[in-house]
Amino acid sequence: MNAAAALPRLKLPVGLQSFAKLRSEHCYYVDKTGLVLDLIESGTHYFLSRPRRFGKSLLIDTFKELFEGNRPLFEGLAAESRWDWSRRYPVIRLSFSGGVSPAGTGLAQRIRDNLRVNREALGLPLPAGLPDDDLPGNFADLIRQAHRSRGERAVVLIDEYDKPILDNITDPVVARQMREGLKDVYAVLKDTDEHLKFVFLTGVSKFSKVSLFSGLNNLTDLTLDPRYSALCGYTDDDVDTVFAPELPGLDREEIRRWYNGYNWLGTSVYNPFDLLLLFRNRQFRPYWFETGTPTFLVDLLAARRPFTPDLGRIVATDTLLSTFDVETLQPEALLFQAGYLTIDSVWEIPGRRELTLKYPNLEVQASLNDSLLRHLSGSAEIPEPQISRLYRVLLAGDVPALRPLFHAFFASIPHDWYRRNALSGFEGYYASIFYSHFAALGLDVRVEDTTNKGRIDMAVLFGGVVWLFEFKVVELTPQGHALQQLKDRDYAGKYRDRGEPIHLIGVEFSREDRNVVGFEVETIPATRDSAAVR
């Protein structure tokens, strides 16, 4: 047996947030220490926003072990030869990852516990003359004592800085209390700057500096810095090299479609949680989405009456996407910061930058639309069997079966839901339901697909067949016009060179009947010559 064969197989670090544990237990590790050193060498105060389950806590712990000088953990990594191991810094780490009770004393107790744990770890005494409830005063004293006792400026690392607010976001009164309590503590970082070597805060959301970081004007936001887009997450190259032993037996392109695509103006990355569970379970599942999509986010979206095809192509300024506060819950900012949308493209003019957003991958597209369907239909149970039947119909190429399938779906929506819910009153409601069924299957769905003669409402490419849809509301347009528009504008021309059958499908809805009232189909057979060219 050769030496390589004798090496133990590396473990998958599922759920591990301890850098020391990950390194000592022979787990896979994607080396981020080069980027970590780049940060330390170029500045002192940083903030990073990333979605949940993206490795933020592991990154914080990596900073901790590095500043504490635990050299054996970094053997073979980029930092080993670049770091001055002769200097060790006192590290103060605050974590709110466990959440905070909405009770009035919950946040204060969590901060008090954090300060106590850090004092004990650094061997520092309690401050004399400071009352226990003066949390900013105690935090400032801890920083000053840490500096004086060790002879090196302190490092402050704050993990999930915003979680106490987000956990209570549906109760604005409590959320504001959390915000003000945290604001008082974070203000200490400005007043004790002379005692600080390095500061790093991370969380899911990006609250405005005015609301939470008032006065902390030296905090550099890394969220949209292209150089650090891959500071958390795995790149395509990481998957092909570090995780190469896990790839056999899995469709590599399917891995990309399902889990790659998160982008913050630089290198696109995978969510680590998804990939690790895929490698462990060997099944494609919405692992990240299933860990806890906030109900309030889906409720907020539904209340704004979204035209669901538009969710995957939102255009917003970076200012709007960076604006998040208890009083201004913008759906676009929430979707972007929480990881349900990511950056597709950027358009810049002097003093202004507009970002076009998209679904990062198949997992998010399918799962978010599945959740929205339950709101659009007024029931958690109605869409599930319909989505499965739709897949079977498309797989079989059974075009006539589409009409009764969707007719039955709309007919199953309770009358009482229409009476209580204004959602059905907007023009895009029926098209949204139609679209979200296809999107929930994770198919290649193209909305308002541009041609030289107009825009196709929806194109679906699946199973060697092209499905082109035009939607009309009969109260707004005379019946019979949906299919005719597809033909008159030769929308099929865009896809003829694929050599595949093309189904032209005109779908007409009635607000009064609350259902599909027109469904016409015309099929253009596959072109052999075109197929031969392909």
Model confidence pLDDT, tens digit, residues 468-496: 999 888 877 766 688 999 999 999 999 99
pLDDT of residue 534: 38
- 75 or 305, which is more confident: 75
> Tokens 């905070």 map to which residue?
100
Whether residue 532 is predicted with pLDDT greater than 50 in this model: the reply is no
Whether residue 215 is predicted with pLDDT greater than 70 in this model: the reply is no
Q: What mean pLDDT is predicted for residues 24-42?
A: 96
- Window from 6-10, 328-332, 360-364, 386-390 with minimum mean pLDDT: 6-10
Entry pTM: 0.87
What dihedral do alpha carbons 446, 450, 453, 456 form, nearest 10°?
A: 20
Q: Are 319 and 332 in contact (CB under 8 A)?
A: no
Whether residue 88 is predicted with pLDDT greater than 90 in this model: the reply is yes
Whether residue 113 is predicted with pLDDT greater than 80 in this model: the reply is yes
Q: How far apart are CA 457 and CA 434, in angstroms?
A: 11
Alpha carbon 531 to chain centroid, angstroms: 39
Q: How far apart are CA 330 and CA 316, in angstroms?
A: 11
Whether residue 314 is predicted with pLDDT greater than 90 in this model: the reply is no
Determine the angle formed by the axes of helices 135-150 and 172-186, rounding to 10 degrees: 30
pLDDT bracket for residue 424 (50, 70, 90)? very low
Mean model confidence pLDDT for the chain: 86
Q: How far apart are CA 398 and CA 295, in angstroms?
A: 36
User: pLDDT tens for residues 256-283?
Assistant: 999 999 999 999 999 999 999 999 999 9
User: pLDDT tens for residues 352-383?
Assistant: 899 999 999 999 999 888 888 877 766 666 56
pLDDT of residue 219: 86
| 78-87, 209-218, 326-335: which is most confident | 78-87
Q: How far apart are CA 459 and CA 469, in angstroms?
A: 6
pLDDT of residue 128: 81
pLDDT above 70: percentage of residues in the chain: 87
Q: What mean pLDDT is predicted for residues 49-55?
A: 93
Whether residue 417 is predicted with pLDDT greater than 50 in this model: the reply is no
Q: What mean pLDDT is predicted for residues 195-212?
A: 83
The pairing of beta strand 220-221 with beta strand 45-49: parallel
Q: How far apart are CA 130 and CA 148, in angstroms?
A: 18
pLDDT bracket for residue 407 (50, 70, 90)? confident
